[in-house]
Amino acid sequence: MAKKIKLSESQLTQVVQKVIKEQKNYTDDPNAFTTDVKDVSFYGLNTYFTEYSDRDIDVTYTNCYVNWRYDMEVRSWGIKDISVYTTSVVINATVEIYDEDYTKVEVEKEIELFVDDMGGFNDEEEGRWHYEDEMSDNIFSHSILPTDLEIDMNTKTVQVIWN
């Protein structure tokens, strides 16, 4: 037989804060996280490196991570709402660009982007990078973390895919 545990709103808040303190954070904000994302896809590299638009380009190294946080609305009866969202995306990558005969690497180039503008809230000025959170409806049925990035060099959009 299962035991019932009754918690007041302040007790629930204390439990949540204790759990949060035990989590590994990289900022002073207990609700903020930094997650290293290994599964990164690039689209439109030939458009981004216009001088090499007719060449084969391979991504050889990535160091990308998502800064994100959650907010929780707590009531005496439990958790009313949890919001999970990206605050910024850091993209570092190295690409190799092959010669015209596709036989050897002609040049290596670096991509360094810091994207902290969520799409749709600004004037969408041309040439400005933004990110969009892509979440499934059942995100809270298991671990919550960003797992993939899809970087479109043509539209200057970073899709953050959540588990």
- Average pLDDT of span 120-136: 74
Between the alpha carbon of residue 58 and those of residues 47, 93, 95, 104, 148, the distances in Å are 14, 10, 5, 12, 18
Compare 113 and 163 and report the one with higher pLDDT: 113
Place of tokens 């499934």: 136
Contacts of 40 (CB under 8 A, 6+ apart): 59, 62, 64, 91, 93, 148, 149, 151
Give the mean model confidence (pLDDT) for residues 24-34. Answer: 74
- Whether 134 has a pLDDT exceeding 80, the answer reads yes
- Find the range with the poorest average confidence among 131-135, 142-146, 147-151, 158-162: 142-146
Q: What pLDDT shows up at residue 24?
A: 46
Domains of the chain, by residue range, sit at 29-162
Task: Please tell me the pTM assigned to this model.
Answer: 0.72
Res. 68: pLDDT tops 90: yes
